[in-house]
Amino acid sequence: MTAATRMALERYVNRRIAAYNSRVADPAVRIIAELEASFKEYPPIKLGTPDPYMPPEPVSR
C-alpha cells in the first residue's frame, strides 16, 4: 500500500468509520491492499488508449 493511500485511508477511517463502525476498518484496509497488489499483475489501461483495446498476451508463470 502506498504511503499516500495509507494516509488517505487513515484520515477516512478517523473521520468516518472509527467512531461508529470500527469493525469495518480492517476489512477495508485488506481490500485496498488487494486492489493495489492486483495493479502489479493487471495494470490499468493507460489514458488515451484507442478503442478497441486489445490486452497483451498473458505471461506464463
Digit-coded pLDDT (tens) for 13-53:
777 655 566 677 788 888 989 998 998 888 888 888 888 88
Rounded Cα distance between 20 and 14, Å, is: 10
Task: State residue 61's pLDDT score.
Answer: 61
Q: Write down the domain spans for the chain.
A: 3-41
Rounded Cα distance between 14 and 6, Å, is: 12
The predicted model scores a pTM of 0.47
Rounded Cα distance between 29 and 58, Å, is: 28
Q: Hey, what's the cell of 60?
A: 506464463
